Amino acid sequence: MKKHLNLKILNFLNRVKIKMRMTWVCPLCGNKNWIIKRYKMWDQKIFRKKKLLTCANCRCSSMHPMPTKEELKNINKIFWSVYSIHSSKHRAITKAQAISRVHYINKFIEIFPTEKVLDIGSGYGNFLDALKQEYSEVTKYYAIEPDKTMKNILYSKGAKKVFTNIDNMQEKDFSLIIMSHILEHLSNPRKYLAQVIKYMKDDAILFLEVPNRDDLYKESLGLHTFIFNSPCLTKLIKDVGFHIIDITTAGCPIPMLIPKRGFFSQLKKRIIRLFMLIPKRIRDYTHNLFEEIRIFKFKLSYKKITLNEEENLDISSLMLNSYGRDRRFIRVLARN
């Protein structure tokens, strides 16, 4: 009886997989083969029943099913007033991050204060503050910010114009466009980047920053719809039409952020799944297994750091100006 029930469950799961494979396509590379990586990765009520699927080709992970355009619009228009962290410590961290981004850009290009700058998802205008700290005057700063509670703050800091979304923006010919922690909140990053490039003048610069593999160390992915890695982000940017000047990872090494229990619990799950897989998918899980082992080796070399709002966290411990492999943020500088 028990064996018969197990077969029924297995058949049902296989039917679900086949159905999903017929409808799911990787939003970045168009591949139809996926791996169910984890369930219950979001603690926000609106995303609790979503799954995290990893593409077998580009290894980018994305939410499934993806939220609708209207759902994302409703989230974004109240993001800073409802979902963001409100504390003096968080403000200090985001300020330090913005300064670090300006320093990174300055390593490769010179930002002229008189050139047109567009900050997409500007929030409180931390990037504008960082520019002002570097230059005495910033005359042509524009922002896209869906949360209207930020509008007056941005104008008081010197923003020339603030738009709620890219669709209602009249300005064009920007020399520098900033997209810091935006791509991971979108439902279609490829389509959005293709739209962004139309607003850039010839030989303009795009700065991108996204979290790097934050599913490895976060208990909840918050409001993120995508999990990026350097190879899949590189391919996405090139496919849209950009030429990469530099791509790197910055901040704390990921092994410093992974909870101690993470490696062995994930390893156990992967081994169990490995025995249940059909042969053609074994290589995909084997790849992930070796990746976990590699991260575990890195982890032995670092002391774990806890990023908790309640603790006294030294901002220097975030290592925002440290670059290398397998670090917390992916930073990209590209030219159109």
CA neighbor of 252 nearest in space, from 197, 213, 291, 281: 213
% of the chain surpassing 90 pLDDT? 53
- Give me the count of residues in the chain: 336
Quick one: pLDDT at residue 170?
A: 87
The structure tokens listed for 249 are 């990872």
By three-state DSSP, how is residue 328 classified? strand
- The Cα 221–Cα 54 span in angstroms is 15
Beta-bridge partners for 143: 119, 162
pLDDT of 163 over the 50 cut: yes
Quick one: pLDDT at residue 317?
A: 79
**What mean pLDDT is predicted for residues 262-287?**
59
Quick one: pLDDT at residue 104?
A: 96
Quick one: pLDDT at residue 256?
A: 87
pLDDT band at 309 (very low <50, low <70, confident <90, very high): very low
Answering whether pTM is above 0.85, one says no
335 or 297, higher pLDDT = 335
Contact 50, 64 (CB under 8 A): yes
Quick one: pLDDT at residue 156?
A: 94
- Average pLDDT of the chain is 83
The lowest-confidence range among 188-202, 231-245, 246-260 is 246-260
pLDDT of 304 over the 50 cut: no
pLDDT of 157 over the 90 cut: yes
Chain segment 55-66, per-residue pLDDT in tens: 989 989 999 999
pLDDT of 20 over the 60 cut: no
CA neighbor of 156 nearest in space, from 188, 190, 124: 124
By three-state DSSP, how is residue 44 classified? coil
Q: Integer distance in angstroms from the first to the last C-alpha of the chain?
A: 63
| Superfamily classification of domain 70-257+305-335 | Vaccinia Virus protein VP39 (3.40.50.150)
pLDDT of 306 over the 80 cut: no
Quick one: pLDDT at residue 121?
A: 95
pLDDT band at 310 (very low <50, low <70, confident <90, very high): very low
Chain segment 90-149, per-residue pLDDT in tens: 888 899 999 999 999 999 988 877 789 999 999 999 999 999 988 877 889 999 999 999
**What mean pLDDT is predicted for residues 324-330?**
94
CA neighbor of 231 nearest in space, from 330, 158, 298: 330
Distances (CA, A) of 163 to 94, 146, 264: 22, 7, 47
